[in-house]
């Protein structure tokens, strides 16, 4: 383990380059895992079990990750003044992880799922909670200028757990057992690629500060609620499908939903490396540089989004046909029929990527109440409209409500970012 730690910390002559490269690799592996796992489980176990797994892993499990994560990462990585120590963040994360486990168990008690589906969902909740605990280490890596370590941890933890899961699933054809093996691999990955690495870094403050737990909850509570609501809005169509259609439909929708992960992945490549300079620009009152950098990132996301939507419309049918071939003969013709839904979802993903950029801008400006307002309005709309659209229009309804909600959030973020920037500009002039 000591040798592996030394190897992971070798960054080469140019740390900035390593930060960029490993951030891209780690983000890619993490996003790819979600897409590949759901797809392969459908192929190996069929559309019903595959759809159930997709819901457990990508929807409810991820929702519990949000509870464990508590929206803290943007706050932690932009805590340049070291208001809180790593010890403070670690204790806070332990509390939120136990809370996530409790919420997951409570949900399953009233879910009405079969015993097998309950087991799969519970194990994926555990898997995602461990992921959420690992995030506090990876956030600290980034806060200390070692984003490459975050990328390496994401890469190797994901590769380990996914490989173990697929080996067990292929060998045993038992989904719950394979999920259990994946959880064990997650624990091992946390110990090897996070805990052992951070112990070798210098300058990490582990001291607990009096009142820090209460202070952190107070500082991040709105971020947590906002992030929780954000993911609910993002996934509300999937919840409606799980409640009102069936597991097979969940699986098909999850497949045509996969491009949103790619869009968010690419947007993350563009956004994350600039969070530290954006924070410095804002904190030092260099507002013009802040505005210009946000604008340039936004233009890149816009260009990539236009490309993604155009390609989806032009070659979406052949791509869906290839996916049908990879899934097997029993899926022939089922995905191509969803080309319209596929295009609508990609367009919605483009609006979501733009919202993420402005979300980080508002967090840097410490305007959490605006973020909360946007997500609260969108969540209320999702709660009311998602079941209606899904019941009436099926998977096309799910796609349309997703697009509507993403547009609603993008408009809200643009409005509040403009208001916050103008207010900050006025304050800067008065100094």
Q: What is the pLDDT of residues 324-358, one digit of tens each?
A: 888 888 888 888 999 999 999 999 999 999 998 99
Rg (alpha carbons) of the chain, rounded to whole number: 21
Q: Assess contact for 362 and 217: CB atoms under 8 A.
A: no
Q: What is the pTM of this model?
A: 0.83
pLDDT of residue 9: 54
pLDDT at residue 57 above 90?
yes
The token duo for 268 is 């993350």
pLDDT of residue 391: 96
Q: Assess contact for 179 and 123: CB atoms under 8 A.
A: yes
Q: Convert the pLDDT of each residue in 205-234 to its tens digit.
A: 899 988 899 999 998 888 788 889 989 999
Contacts of 200-205 with CB under 8 Å at 24 or more apart are 200/5, 200/6, 200/9, 201/9, 201/141, 201/144, 201/146, 203/144, 204/86, 204/140, 204/144, 205/82, 205/85, 205/86, 205/87
pLDDT at residue 27 above 90?
no
Provide mean pLDDT across the span 78-90.
88
Instruction: Report d(CA 237, CA 224) in Å as an integer.
Output: 21
Q: Assess contact for 265 and 27: CB atoms under 8 A.
A: yes
Concatenated DSSP letters for 390-431?
HHHHHHHHHHHHHHHHHHHHHHHHHHHHHHHHHHHHHHHHT-
349 to 44, 78, 214, 338, 409: CA distances (angstroms):
28, 26, 36, 16, 12
Instruction: Report d(CA 58, CA 63) in Å as an integer.
Output: 8
How many angstroms from the chain centroid is the CA of residue 70?
12
Provide mean pLDDT across the span 239-264.
88
**CA dihedral in degrees (69, 71, 72, 76; nearest 10)?**
130
Instruction: Report d(CA 264, CA 101) in Å as an integer.
Output: 27
Instruction: Report d(CA 47, CA 250) in Å as an integer.
Output: 9
Instruction: Report d(CA 315, CA 162) in Å as an integer.
Output: 30
Q: Convert the pLDDT of each residue in 6-25 to its tens digit.
A: 555 554 456 677 777 887 78
Instruction: Report d(CA 346, CA 355) in Å as an integer.
Output: 14
Dihedral of alpha carbons 329, 334, 339, 343, sign: negative
pLDDT of residue 285: 84
More confident residue, 104 or 360: 104
Q: Convert the pLDDT of each residue in 366-423 to its tens digit.
A: 887 898 899 999 999 999 999 999 999 999 999 999 999 999 999 999 999 999 888 8
Other CB atoms within 10 A of residue 394 CB: 16
Instruction: Report d(CA 420, CA 405) in Å as an integer.
Output: 22
pLDDT at residue 307 above 60?
yes
Give the number of residues written for the chain: 431
394 to 55, 59, 407: CA distances (angstroms):
17, 18, 20
pLDDT at residue 293 above 70?
yes
Q: Which DSSP letter does residue 58 get?
A: I
Average pLDDT, the chain: 88
Provide mean pLDDT across the span 62-86.
89
Instruction: Report d(CA 392, CA 90) in Å as an integer.
Output: 46
Closest CA to 131 of 104, 155, 106, 157: 157
Coil, strand or helix: which one is 168? helix
Q: Assess contact for 341 and 349: CB atoms under 8 A.
A: no
């Amino acid at each position: 383990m000591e040798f592996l730690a030394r190897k992971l910390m070798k960054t080469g002559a140019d740390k900035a380059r390593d930060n960029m490269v490993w951030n891209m690799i780690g983000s890619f592996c993490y996003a790819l895992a979600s897409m590949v796992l759901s797809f392969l489980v459908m192929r190996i176990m069929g559309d019903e079990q595959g759809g159930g797994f997709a819901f457990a892993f990508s929807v409810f499990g991820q929702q519990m990750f949000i509870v464990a994560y508590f929206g803290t990462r943007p706050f932690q990585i932009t805590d340049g003044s070291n208001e809180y120590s790593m010890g403070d963040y670690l204790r806070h994360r332990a509390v939120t992880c136990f809370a996530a486990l409790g919420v997951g168990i409570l949900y399953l008690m009233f879910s009405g799922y079969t015993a097998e589906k309950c087991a799969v969902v519970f194990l994926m909740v555990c898997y995602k909670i461990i992921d959420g605990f690992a995030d506090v280490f990876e956030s600290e890596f980034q806060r200390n200028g070692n984003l490459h370590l975050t990328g390496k941890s994401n890469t190797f933890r994901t590769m380990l757990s996914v490989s173990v899961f697929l080996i067990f699933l292929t060998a045993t054809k038992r989904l719950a057992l394979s999920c259990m093996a994946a959880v064990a691999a997650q624990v091992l990955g946390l110990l090897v690629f996070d805990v052992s690495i951070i112990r070798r870094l210098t300058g990490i403050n582990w001291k607990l500060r009096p009142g820090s737990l209460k202070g952190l909850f107070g500082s991040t509570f709105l971020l947590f609620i906002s992030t929780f609501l954000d993911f609910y809005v993002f996934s509300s169509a999937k919840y409606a499908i799980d409640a009102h259609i069936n597991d097979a439909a969940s699986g098909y929708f999850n497949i045509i939903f996969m491009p949103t992960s790619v869009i968010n992945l690419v947007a993350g490549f563009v956004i994350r490396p600039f969070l530290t300079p954006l924070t410095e620009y804002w904190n030092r009152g260099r507002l013009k540089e802040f505005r210009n950098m946000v604008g340039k990132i936004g233009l890149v996301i816009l260009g990539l989004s236009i490309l993604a939507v155009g390609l989806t419309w032009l070659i979406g049918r052949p791509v869906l046909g290839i996916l049908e071939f990879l899934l097997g003969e029993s899926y022939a013709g089922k995905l191509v029929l969803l080309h319209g839904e596929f295009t609508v979802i990609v367009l919605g993903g483009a609006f979501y990527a733009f919202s993420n950029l402005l979300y980080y801008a508002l967090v840097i400006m410490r305007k959490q109440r605006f973020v909360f307002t946007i997500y609260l309005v969108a969540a209320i709309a999702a709660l009311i409209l998602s079941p209606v659209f899904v019941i009436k229009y099926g998977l096309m309804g799910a796609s349309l409500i997703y697009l509507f909600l993403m547009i609603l959030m993008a408009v809200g973020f643009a409005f509040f970012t403009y208001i916050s920037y103008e207010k900050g500009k006025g304050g800067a002039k008065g100094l």
